[in-house]
Structure 1
Amino acid sequence: MKNLVMLMASLVLSTLAYAQHAVPDSILEAKIKKLDLAHALAIYKSDSVGLDSLMADEVTVNHPTNKIVEEKKELLKMIRQGIIRYTIFERYPEKFLFFKDMVVVMGREKIVPATGAPNAGKPLQRRYTNIWMKLNGKWKLTVRHANNQL
């Protein structure tokens, strides 16, 4: 029992030491917000080169088309094929959570998919979560979840 209590205390303390979301960093927040908005703009412009530079090679996206996309090349292919294309794409980051070498961004998006894309012409509201990680000294989008609101 004593070992179990010590193990639990160790886990709690190590988790608290790792989590830093209670200490916002305004300079880092501004940097990540700029990257997050650049990602939205690159999606809007179907800029696969820009997206390639913003995303980690191992990016995983829980896409609003009810598909989990686990490869950057698959995601970029969907953009080149017009499956992911918009006439309006507005992103509003609302919350930033800070961790060691990781920032979680939560917010909302207003979109209108373009002709040929699912839900073409239909204005949609969406909630999103983006996870940015510092990899080899650069911030990269590593995980994204976006879902259309009903």
Structure 2
Amino acid sequence: MKALPPGVLLFLATGVAFGQQGPANAALQEQIRKLDMAHARAIFRSDAAALDSLMDDDVTVNHPTNRIVKEKKELLQLMKQGVIRYTSFERSPETFLFFKDMVVVMGSEVVVPAAGAPNAGKKLQRRYANVWMLQGSKWRLTVRHANNICAGI
């Protein structure tokens, strides 16, 4: 697995203090927003080719099913098995944090898992954070965290 840049955990914990915000990043924010939404569409459609293009081979996902998925191959296998499959998937990016060769997107998602998937048929609200890193000339999803919001919170 590729190592994150030194200090990335500090940056994630204190992103607003260190992240560059403002109009200088408007074009990059729009580019990353499009990639983030393309990722959501690819998950919804179970589009392995699109996911292959968007994600790093060593992508690590803290998955809402309470497991850590450590590579793209494993994630695509979960899709084939029907563990990751939805009848509805809405993503709303809310915050973008900019760092050298890295953008963190945080927001909310509303999903309805399909038959055969955990929580099938239930409308689930969750929070997510996606870490996009510049690799050569291409932005790739390298880290994702998604967690279901408990009722009553």
TM-score (norm 1): 0.86
Alignment partner, residue 74 of structure 1 = 74
Local SS of the residue matching 1:119: coil
**Hey, what's the Cα distance between the residues in 2 that align with 1:23 and 1:127?**
21
Matched, 1:43 2:46: no
Query: How do residues 84-99 of structure 1 correspond to structure 2 at under 5 angstroms?
Result: 84-99=84-99
CA distance in 2, matches of 1:136, 1:77: 27
Give the deviation of 1:23 after TM superposition.
3.4
Q: How does 1:1-150 map to 2 (within 5 A)?
A: 21-24=19-22, 25-150=25-150
Aligned length: 134
In the TM superposition, what whole-angstrom CA distance separates every residue of 1:56-80 from its partner, at most 9, and x where no partner exists? Answer: 1110000000000001100001011
CA separation of 1:38/1:73 partners in 2, compared to 1, >3 Å: closer, same or farther? same
1:32-70 alpha-carbon deviations (Å, 9 max, x no partner): 000000000000001111101100111000000000000
Q: Share of identical aligned residues, percent?
A: 65
| Paired residue secondary structure (1:118) | coil
The structure 1 segments of at least 4 consecutive aligned residues displaced by more than 4 Å after TM superposition are: none
Contact 1:20 1:100 in 2 (8 A): no
Segments of 5+ residues of structure 2 without an aligned counterpart are 1-6, 12-16
Q: Which segments of 5 or more consecutive residues in structure 1 lack a partner in the other structure? A: 1-10
Cα distance in 2 for partners of 1:104, 1:23 equals: 12
Instruction: Tell me the alpha carbon deviations over residues 93-114 of structure 1, each in whole angstroms, 9 at most, x when there is no partner.
Output: 0000000000000000000000
Q: Any idea what SS the aligned residue of 1:127 has?
A: strand
Q: Is the 8 A contact 1:128 1:145 kept in 2?
A: yes
- 1:73 is aligned with what amino acid? K
